[in-house]
Amino acid sequence: MKQLYAVCVAAGVLTGGCGHSARPVGGPVAIDNEGARLAGTISLPDGARAPLSAAVLVHGSGRTTRDDQRFMRDRLLAMGIAVLA
């Protein structure tokens, strides 16, 4: 898990910019496929325009929830990177 975390951070640093507001916009998203549902939350940097770099935060091991990763989400948003968690 630490390796995946490091890859996500490195990808964000290499592709992101600076100076964006960390106030997220977006909301819940869900993908249904063959009876299974994958749900998450999309967060976009304030004032973001396409094309836009993005990161996927993987969670769910044990008692971890997508809200537990808000510190990482906020950091990536501040760099102008969209986040799906």
Give me the domain span that covers residue 21. 2-84
3-state secondary structure 6-65: HHHHHHHHHHCCCCCEEEEEEEEEEEEECCEEEEEEEEEEECCCCCCCEEECCCCCCCCC
Percent of the chain surpassing pLDDT 70: 69
User: How many structural domains are present in the chain?
Assistant: 1
Coil vs helix vs strand at 82: strand
Q: How far apart are CA 56 and CA 83, in angstroms?
A: 6
pLDDT, one tens digit per residue, over 3-52 is 444 444 444 444 444 444 445 578 899 999 999 998 889 999 988 888 89
71 pLDDT higher than 80: yes
70: amino acid identity, one letter: R
